[in-house]
Chains A and B, each alone.
Chain A
Amino acid sequence: AQSVSQHNHHVILSEAASLELGCNYSYGGTVNLFWYVQYPGQHLQLLLKYFSGDPLVKGIKGFEAEFIKSKFSFNLRKPSVQWSDTAEYFCAVTPFSGGYNKLIFGAGTRLAVHP
């Protein structure tokens, strides 16, 4: 069973709608957290990452994520999506229990934004 859970497999939004994608992990102890994006036909790219400090992390293209340690969550948000945000989004975790060596991905959320 995967230890990184993304609740929504498919999300459909209209342009200007707000976005929140859920991510939960099941590792205890310290973790590093990432969100990656894969645009159609392209490589995965890093959107943002969290290691320590302010639990609200800002990334590229207006995305942000909030780390809530008590809920083992790292949800991705964007106040107003654009058609160009259509992509697949992956949450990923490097758990301290693996010496931060393993980067484990969730199953992904496919986002479609309609004009």
Chain B
Amino acid sequence: NAGVTQTPKFQVLKTGQSMTLQCAQDMNHEYMSWYRQDPGMGLRLIHYSVGAGITDQGEVPNGYNVSRSTTEDFPLRLLSAAPSQTSVYFCASRYGPTDTQYFGPGTRLTVL
């Protein structure tokens, strides 16, 4: 198994640009989540999904969209990038609500 994969590893955007961060898992996990990690703030939950077709907002959803058309994929869309979205983004997945969560390697995003 490849586990949780994320692309790209690094990205630089200009303010106002849009982009999609890709996340995929091959463990047949129902639960998938997106977090951003900022110094001194820990990991903050952006959006999460409990299965294909089901998504919900986390702690900091503004400026981000998600969809879950398949079990494997959970892309995160930045609609109009802002410098405040400069961060490291982690995708994670787990089989059920009480199971271990596995994290992807992260995407380092810089918005100029």
Chain A interface residues toward B at CB < 8 A: 2, 6, 9, 32, 34, 43-44, 46, 49, 51, 90, 94, 99-108
Chain B interface residues toward A at CB < 8 A: 31, 33, 35, 40-45, 48, 50, 56, 58-59, 90, 92, 94, 97-98, 100-101, 103-106
Which single member of B42, B50, B56, B100 contacts A105 (CB below 8 Å)? B42
Considering the complex, give the chain A residue whose CB is closest to the CB of B58: A102
Bound complex: CA A21 to CA B84 (Å): 30
Q: Is the interface of B mostly helix, strand, loop or mixed?
A: strand
Considering the complex, give the chain A residue whose CB is closest to the CB of B40: A107
Q: Is the interface of A mostly helix, strand, loop or mixed?
A: loop
What are 29 sample pairs from A and B whose C-beta atoms fall under 8 A apart? A2-B42, A2-B59, A6-B42, A32-B98, A43-B103, A43-B104, A44-B43, A44-B90, A46-B100, A49-B100, A51-B98, A90-B43, A94-B98, A100-B97, A101-B31, A101-B48, A101-B56, A101-B97, A102-B48, A102-B58, A103-B33, A103-B45, A103-B94, A104-B45, A104-B59, A105-B35, A105-B44, A105-B45, A108-B43
